[in-house]
């Protein structure tokens, strides 16, 4: 079975600063994808960034970037120039691609951006 | 494109009563997921459909939970009888198995707003 671990239940960052959220996963699969999803307070979950496991280059989306270490099974999210709107729960997710596109989520990290 | 629609948004019931949630995925999305999200936790997969067939229901408490997607589009999730520990947000999501790449454009897994269930 696949497991996704987020070891930081809560984090805070000053506005305009940089913060890194950690995620590790355990799998025997070779063909998979990793995601970070954001869930703002009382709002629906949206995709932040995704990474294909076969790609060595780290994904970036504007202020969001990942550090993907496949051998270490680590997938951290870096948020640069943090904004108040970044305050949310962040979930790391794993999807295996052999059959069924099944997704597995971590327990989340609650990020608060302090003005 | 229209998003994933869910209803009702909120439901309060007494324990041992029944409740049903409805989900309409994004048009053309073959895969539909129901997740249970207890406060402070990550989403837990209850059931996954591919068109109208079940891909994974290993974590669905089948003695009280049921789900169907008869025509491969809309889906309903039912709980009967409800227990206190069923209080959670029930998230529906859909996926198109879209190809990855810089120009794919679409989210792979798109969530609805969720249905918040409180069991008293």
- Matching residue, tokens 């990550």: B42
Q: Given a cut of 90, is residue A92 above it in pLDDT?
A: yes
Q: What is the pLDDT of residue A35?
A: 94
% of chain B with per-residue pLDDT over 90 = 67
Query: Distance of CA B70 to CAs A5, A10, A76, B77, B90, Å?
Result: 35, 41, 39, 12, 20
A99 chain-B contacts, CB cut-off 8 A: 55
- Check if the beta carbon of residue B90 is closer than 8 Å to that of residue B47: no
Confidence of residue B95 (pLDDT cuts 50, 70, 90): confident
% of chain A with per-residue pLDDT over 70 = 96
**Worst-scoring range by mean pLDDT, B27-41, B70-84, B96-110?**
B96-110
Q: Given a cut of 70, is residue A45 above it in pLDDT?
A: yes
Q: What is the pLDDT of residue A28?
A: 87
Which residue has better confidence, A98 or B7? B7
- Asked if B33's CB is within 8 angstroms of A43's CB, the reply is no
Nearest to B48 among A37, A102, A105 (CB): A102
Radius of gyration of chain B (CA): 14
Interface of B with A (CB under 8 A): 31, 33, 35, 40-45, 48, 50, 55-56, 91, 93, 95, 97, 100, 107-114
For residue B86, give the 3-state DSSP assignment: helix
- Asked if A106's CB is within 8 angstroms of B55's CB, the reply is no
- Asked if B111's CB is within 8 angstroms of A100's CB, the reply is no
Average of per-residue pLDDT across A92-97: 86
Q: Given a cut of 50, is residue B107 above it in pLDDT?
A: no
Which residue has better confidence, A85 or B41? A85
Cα B6 from Cα A88, distance rounded (Å) = 22
């Amino acid at each position: 079975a696949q497991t996704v671990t987020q070891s930081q239940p809560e984090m805070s960052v000053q506005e305009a600063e940089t913060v890194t959220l950690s995620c590790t996963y355990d799998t025997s699969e070779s063909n998979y994808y990793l995601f970070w999803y954001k869930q703002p307070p009382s709002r629906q979950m949206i995709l932040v960034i995704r990474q294909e496991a076969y790609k060595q280059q780290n994904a970036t989306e504007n202020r969001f970037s990942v550090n993907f270490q496949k051998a270490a099974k680590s997938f951290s999210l870096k948020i640069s120039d943090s904004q108040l709107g970044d305050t949310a729960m962040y979930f790391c997710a794993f999807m295996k691609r052999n059959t069924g596109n099944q997704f597995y989520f971590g327990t989340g990290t609650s990020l608060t951006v302090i003005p | 494109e229209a998003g994933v629609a869910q209803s009702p948004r909120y439901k309060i019931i007494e324990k041992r009563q029944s409740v049903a949630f409805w989900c309409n995925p994004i048009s053309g999305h073959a895969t539909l997921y129901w997740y249970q999200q207890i406060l402070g936790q990550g989403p837990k997969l209850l059931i996954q459909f591919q068109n109208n067939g079940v891909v994974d229901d290993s974590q669905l408490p089948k003695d009280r939970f049921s789900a169907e997607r008869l025509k491969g589009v809309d889906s309903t999730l039912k709980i009967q009888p409800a227990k206190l520990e069923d209080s959670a947000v029930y998230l529906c999501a859909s996926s198109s198995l879209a190809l990855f790449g810089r120009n794919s454009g679409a989210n792979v897994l798109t969530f609805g707003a969720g249905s918040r269930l409180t069991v008293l």
